[in-house]
Amino acid sequence: MTAPKKAPKKSPTRKDQLRGVNPEIFAWSGKYDLPRFDRIEDRDFRPAFEAAMRAGLAEIDAIAGRKAKPGFKNTVVALEKAENALNRVSALFWNRAGADTNDVIRQLERDITPKLSRYASKIAMNGKLFQRIDALWVKRGKLKLSREEERVLERYWKGYVKSGARLARKQQKQLAAINERLAALGTRFGQNLLADESNWQMEIEGAVLSGLPSFLVQAMAAAAEERGLASRHVVTLSRSIVVPFITFCEDRGLREAAFKAWAARGENGGETDNRAILAEILSLRHRKAKLLGYENYAELKLDNTMAKTPAAVMGLLESVWEKAVAKAADEEKALAGLVAKEGRNHALAAWDWRYYAEKLRAEKFDFSEGELKPYFPLDQVIAAAFDVANRLFGISFKERRGIATYHRDVRVFTVHDHKGRRIATFLGDYFARASKRSGAWMSAFQSQHKLAGKGGKGQKPVIYNVMNFAKGDPALLSLDDARTLFHEFGHALHGMLSDVTYPSVSGTSVSRDFVELPSQLYEHWLMVPEILSKYAVHAETGKPIPKELVDKVIAAETFNSGFDTVEFTSSALVDMAYHMAGEIDDPMAFEAAQLKKYAMPAAIIMRHRSPHFAHVFSGDGYSAGYYSYMWSEVLDADAFRAFTEKGDPFDARTARRLRKHIYSAGGAVDPEETYIAFRGKLPEPDAMMEGRGLV
């Protein structure tokens, strides 16, 4: 009697692989393309990541193992549709890790980061998959691809090459180990920084407190209450509190204490010290660049950017630096004069600069930051940003209340085109809290694309902005805060107005030195007179900002610009120097040597000193790329001129070109090509220099 034949073993389906995991993480069931945040718990993330990575690898293996000849649809389009489960859980988790973390999330972040790195390495070094992509790349001229499809294919091919697809197996293993270690170190760097920011506070009372402006006193009270110190007032290292404190506090000793704590983040010894971490990061990055055939890490990162080479970046930064230092020297003399006028015999120190600059601003232009702030209530600035988007692009916003989000402070808006159709969902998370990392940023829960899928054709973008403004009743913004809101909303519009077919080139998926153009450009509309007259309304009196005050603000726009430019450019120069230098034994000594080389003014420090330079070391985003803010500033200064040359900041034809070529094009077109399509030419840095008052 013959034994029955065994049925062939079936590979687990995607549904099988995701079984046993909270389905809300993968199949969002909330309104407006949102998940039901109230149905997701911290404990759900770990099994969701494990299941999503298994499913993702199975999808990639299936694409790589196809017997049919490689084609754009069965390889590239298939890759564009793959890993949806991992994209979903990642979007939710990294939002929480940055905006509302806790011990459980932090531990999972440390655990999952190296696993995700190993996962990415497996895919990047999948030989069969790269063979298919390489075959398409070789015959790309015969494939009759659209311009966007050519860009998508190029992105895949270059991405795999940069990820080690053409390395020998031994070198691939070395690269995978480096990437895994870098991922873990970046996570630790960011967590250490958040710990230093969250754990420090300084209580203020008595006469010192009574000498501070009311908006700052309210913010300090709210910060104390959040930390369980009701009816007290604390300075924290949130930028929205510490900067106004060192600007307005008359007690020099307290200014010094707050400033030094702020400057020393990541450099306090013990478990949260970042100095050894950044040294190892720099060493590993250099090893990675050499493995991939580049002279240094800067060359690796600048490949496929607008700048293209370190020499081009340094040319811009050094030309600006020379002018900025000269202007800062003149500013320092003026501030030192105020110190002497008060009968004090100390030199101007870093914790004095903002304090005396504010005094000089008030004296020279007859207004203070405290006088200006009541005209920028948060809700009015939000409304102004929305109105500008409506005037330029014909879109409108409707707030939706009663929807569960990841934190009670988060607000939800639906975004509609001129016909009333919903085109996106926008979330705003505006206030500082101990569970949120510092800074401000834009990100997406899901990006726009037009690929057909289960739910029909494509998906609408779900975009969010995160800020760290101080709470108040009402919350009042400084002019810098208001610019930050407009800046991040410009990024949000880049995501919400995206109009491409493929996810990998959607929205902000552009080169690092182009991505800041839509955000920095949008800042210009904050100071347009008709926007100010409508929305800069006094929080108590309800009266619009007086024209005389606006004129003073405009006249003072380049005030202290030497200081601002030195702060920024020194950080960008050190970032580039680190990543051009090769092996560095002592990064802090290297930082000091670079600043000495460039004759850094003693009374100014880098905007981001190395141990808390999260842009560069808490992940890879802006490494050898912090310059991109200034590179984009050259673009945005020229781009806004397109409107001023028309005599109308809302000129309809210019706005249509702006939407088509800048805000909607994503990475589907080469950035130089799309900028020229908008403006007719590439810019020179003259407009940027003029805008900063450096020429």
Inter-residue contact 477 to 527 (CB < 8 Å): no
Name the token pair of 591: 């930082």
Name the residue with tokens 């899901």.
446
CA–CA separation, 218 and 222 (whole Å): 6
Name the token pair of 565: 């430019």
Stretch (H or E) spanning 477: none
Tell me which DSSP letter residue 593 carries.
Answer: H
Q: ω into residue 474 within 30 of 0, thus cis?
A: yes
CB atoms within 10 A of CB 151: 20
Q: With H, G, I as helix, E, B as strand and everything else as coil, classify residue 615.
A: helix
Tell me which DSSP letter residue 75 carries.
Answer: I
CA–CA separation, 109 and 94 (whole Å): 9
Tell me which DSSP letter residue 3 carries.
Answer: P
Inter-residue contact 450 to 501 (CB < 8 Å): yes
Q: Give buried/exposed letters for 434-470 (b at 16+ CB in 10 A, else e).
A: ebbbbbbbbbbbbbbbeeeeeeeeebbbbbbbbbbbb
CA angle 607, 608, 612 (to 5 degrees): 155
Concerning whether 205 is annotated as a catalytic residue, the answer is no
Largest CA distance in the chain: 110
Name the token pair of 617: 């070391």
Name the residue with tokens 């088509």.
660
CA–CA separation, 276 and 185 (whole Å): 10
Inter-residue contact 457 to 449 (CB < 8 Å): no
CA–CA separation, 695 and 688 (whole Å): 10
CB atoms within 10 A of CB 176: 19
Q: With H, G, I as helix, E, B as strand and everything else as coil, classify residue 449.
A: strand
Inter-residue contact 47 to 41 (CB < 8 Å): no
Nearest to 668 by CA among 447, 402, 376: 447
Region of 495 on the Ramachandran plot (φ > 0 left; ψ -120 to 50 alpha; else beta): alpha
Per the residue annotation, which of 332, 488, 591, 633 is the catalytic one?
A: 488
CA–CA separation, 615 and 608 (whole Å): 9
Q: With H, G, I as helix, E, B as strand and everything else as coil, classify residue 486.
A: helix
CA–CA separation, 532 and 541 (whole Å): 16
CA–CA separation, 308 and 229 (whole Å): 51
Tell me which DSSP letter residue 295 carries.
Answer: S
Alpha helices in 227-309 (DSSP H): 239-248, 252-263, 275-291, 297-302
Inter-residue contact 71 to 63 (CB < 8 Å): no
CA angle 286, 290, 295 (to 5 degrees): 85
CA–CA separation, 203 and 254 (whole Å): 10
CA–CA separation, 77 and 299 (whole Å): 30
CA–CA separation, 1 and 287 (whole Å): 64
Backbone angles phi, psi at 318, to 5 degrees: -70, -35
Name the residue with tokens 């015969």.
142
Question: Cα Rg for the chain, rounded, in angstroms?
Answer: 26
Q: Give buried/exposed letters for 668-679 (b at 16+ CB in 10 A, else e).
A: bbbbeebbeebb
- The residues carrying an active-site annotation are 488
